[in-house]
Structure 1
Amino acid sequence: MKPLEGKVALVAGGTRGAGRGIAVELGAAGATVYVTGRTTRTETSEYGRPETIEDTAELVNEAGGRGIAVQTDHLVPDQVESLIHRIEKEQGRLDILVNDIWGSEHLAEWNTPVWKHSLEKGFRMLRLAIDTHIITNHYALPLLIKNKGGLVVEVTDGTEDYNKNNYRLSLFYDFAKNGVITLAKALAHELSPYGGTAVALTPGWLRSELMLEVFGVTEENWRDAVKTEPHFVISESPRYIGRAVSALAGDAKRDCWNGQSLSSGQLAKVYHFTDVDGSRPDCWRYLVEVEAAGKPANAEGYR
């Protein structure tokens, strides 16, 4: 079955990581997915990663959807405006907007107080994490609200409950990720009169391309990393949050989530989807009840 056949999605920041997983799963559900980012097969962004938007679009096609790669710097209003005009011209509608623009790990100076952290790097992180989302919403939402029932997913790191009790190791990073949650709340109010839904959504410990490289493993043998970091046992693939977005997009009653801060593990319990290995990781509960509690790594009961 293709529950999202006929639907049009924009995954802003779909080059890699969660964005790629989301784009692929929306494609698997039958959607037409516009995949944007700065890195193409001919140009690389400041992030310096090898993944490209064309690669993601091809994965969307292989999954059963239609992937369309459009190079876009979401800090440049004219480029975003042009992107939305193109979607409207080619499709006439936009049903799902996913804001997963980030690309800032290289800018964070972890465990560094604000008076020592580079202002240049910190403010660049905030621009990439917050300004990009606002610019994209500004241009995309007029098209999305033309049809009742549009969905906006603001991808962040951490749930509202977790973040309010845990400093995220950098003032700038903490501000960026909590700012996205606040953004989703505001959008919920603004979209509600038009029948739209906005949520903040976080993956758990994501096995992104970068994270796999850090541990020297692949998606196929990721469990080998547990030898180095035992708590990596709770990690999840990017397809898991993708299935969370697909489930939300396919739920006619998704407005019950409007304005909420959600996680992939939380939605897996409600919509009964699994990660690619058939498990249901519940990372944020694990981090509090196992890791923070100083217990030995053991995902039993948490995946």
Structure 2
Amino acid sequence: MSGSGPLSGRVCIVTGASRGIGKGIALQLGEAGATVYITGRTLKPNTDNNGVGGSLLETAEEIESRGGKCIPVQCDHSNDDEVQKLFNKVKTEQNGRLDILVNNAFSAGPALATNMRAELRWWEENVDMWDVCNRVSLRGQYLAAVYAARLMVPAKQGLIINVSSAGGLMHFFSVPYSIGKSGSDRMASECSIDLKKHNIAYVSLWPGPTRTEHVLKLQAEDSLEFPGDETKMLSRVIEIGETIEFSGKAVVCLASDPNIMKKTGKILHTAWIADEFRFHDVNGRHHLNPFCLKRMLLMTGHTWLASVMPEFVRIPSWLIAAMFHKFY
């Protein structure tokens, strides 16, 4: 399929692509014909990743089995030298071309789950939790964006995507996590101001709850035990969650959008992109707008009310923003 898809000839980097959402994005970009550089700390298959598995070579093999082209690069995004070498490698091998950067690398999942089970508050957590959440993610996103911009600005084109979450709007998981996601969203907004004149778009992508390998493993082991009513809520969310490739389909649509500059600096939810470009998940499922009442009822267990609630009944985004307004 490489060479004939909608992204034929494009050069992409997807960070943190050995598993999870990053892998799903890389699979879809490769399937769409792009040359995809994927990064992660795990090059070869092993069993040391909290029992979840996944490796760069496995992702690369699956991309190539679909007809795509993939270059796996072992890279720790907390190591500045390794990040610089990654971009130098792309610059050398692709004659300075880079079309798409997807900043997805994130390393705090297991630590967040442990702290939630222990019901630790931010002042009770180890202060290293700040770096666990934000060194690879928030700082790593900025560093990668700097190097990407240095390749994209001379070419007067490009797309940078920060993978973020609703934690950027409200308290979610932990204080360091929410601050980091808020920073990812603000980074896209701020960086887009200078990049817009160079025809480079920078957006923040919010996937919905996603059925990653780690989440499915916890579910299979009946390990989704959290304080209060969060366990029931999380189980319901997982049941209606996105596959890892749904975000990938959204990224392909953004990369193919001739009007992408109209979206630069914005937060984009995967379900909004699916509604605009009229696609479904790889399993055929239609994912509801995160602000529609039907979805909220399903997540809170009110299935009967959800069955009679029209999908078009939604809470306006301005009202959501006002609910979390921080000025007195």
Which range, TM-score by smaller chain? 0.7 to 0.9
Q: Secondary structure at the match of 2:204?
A: strand
Listed as ranges, the matches of 1:1-303 within 5 Å are: 2-41=5-44, 49-92=52-95, 93-108=97-112, 109-110=115-116, 111-158=119-166, 163-164=168-169, 166-216=170-220, 229-282=235-288, 284-285=290-291, 289-290=296-297, 295-296=302-303
Measure, in 1, the Cα distance between the counterparts of 2:139 and 2:177.
14
Shift of 1:11: 0.3
Q: Given the superposition, is the C-alpha separation of residues 230 and 292 from structure 1 closer, same or farther in structure 2, using an over 3 Å criterion?
A: closer
Relative to the length of structure 1, the TM-score reads 0.87
* One-letter amino acid matched to 2:134: L
Q: Secondary structure at the match of 2:186?
A: helix
* One-letter amino acid matched to 2:136: L
Alpha-carbon contact 1:11-1:23 (below 8 Å) kept = yes
Alpha-carbon contact 1:16-1:56 (below 8 Å) kept = yes
Shift of 1:204: 0.7
Q: Secondary structure at the match of 2:246?
A: helix
Give the match for residue 221 of structure 1: none
Shift of 1:83: 1.1
Shift of 1:55: 1.0
Q: Secondary structure at the match of 1:51?
A: coil
Shift of 1:87: 0.7
- Identity among equivalent positions (%) equals 30
Q: Secondary structure at the match of 2:290?
A: helix
Alpha-carbon contact 2:46-2:53 (below 8 Å) kept = no
Shift of 1:42: 6.7
Q: Given the superposition, is the C-alpha separation of residues 8 and 47 from structure 1 closer, same or farther in structure 2, using an over 3 Å criterion?
A: farther
Q: Which has the larger radius of gyration?
A: 2
Shift of 1:117: 1.4
Unaligned runs of 5+ in 2: 222-231, 312-328
Q: Given the superposition, is the C-alpha separation of residues 231 and 48 from structure 1 closer, same or farther in structure 2, using an over 3 Å criterion?
A: closer
* One-letter amino acid matched to 2:165: D
Q: Given the superposition, is the C-alpha separation of residues 41 and 183 from structure 1 closer, same or farther in structure 2, using an over 3 Å criterion?
A: same
Q: Secondary structure at the match of 1:112?
A: coil
Q: Given the superposition, is the C-alpha separation of residues 280 and 82 from structure 1 closer, same or farther in structure 2, using an over 3 Å criterion?
A: same
Measure, in 1, the Cα distance between the counterparts of 2:35 and 2:305.
39
1:219-242 CA-to-partner distances (Å, cap 9, x unmatched) read xxxxxxx99933433211011110
* One-letter amino acid matched to 1:241: S
Measure, in 2, the Cα distance between the counterparts of 1:59 and 1:4.
18
Q: Secondary structure at the match of 1:131?
A: helix
Relative to the length of structure 2, the TM-score reads 0.81
Q: Given the superposition, is the C-alpha separation of residues 299 and 144 from structure 1 closer, same or farther in structure 2, using an over 3 Å criterion?
A: farther
Q: Secondary structure at the match of 1:284?
A: coil
Say which is worse superposed, 110-119 or 179-188, in terms of deviation: 110-119
* One-letter amino acid matched to 1:211: V
Measure, in 2, the Cα distance between the counterparts of 1:138 and 1:298.
48
Measure, in 1, the Cα distance between the counterparts of 2:233 and 2:255.
37
Say which is worse superposed, 90-99 or 34-43, in terms of deviation: 34-43
Q: Given the superposition, is the C-alpha separation of residues 298 and 48 from structure 1 closer, same or farther in structure 2, using an over 3 Å criterion?
A: farther
Q: Secondary structure at the match of 2:242?
A: coil
Q: Secondary structure at the match of 2:14?
A: strand
* One-letter amino acid matched to 2:5: K
1:175-212 CA-to-partner distances (Å, cap 9, x unmatched) read 12111111111221121111000100011110100011
Shift of 1:43: 7.4
1:255-286 CA-to-partner distances (Å, cap 9, x unmatched) read 11101111110100001111012222126235
Shift of 1:298: 7.8
1:8-58 CA-to-partner distances (Å, cap 9, x unmatched) read 000011111110000000011100000001111177887674211111111
Say which is worse superposed, 288-297 or 45-54, in terms of deviation: 288-297
Measure, in 2, the Cα distance between the counterparts of 1:38 and 1:187.
27
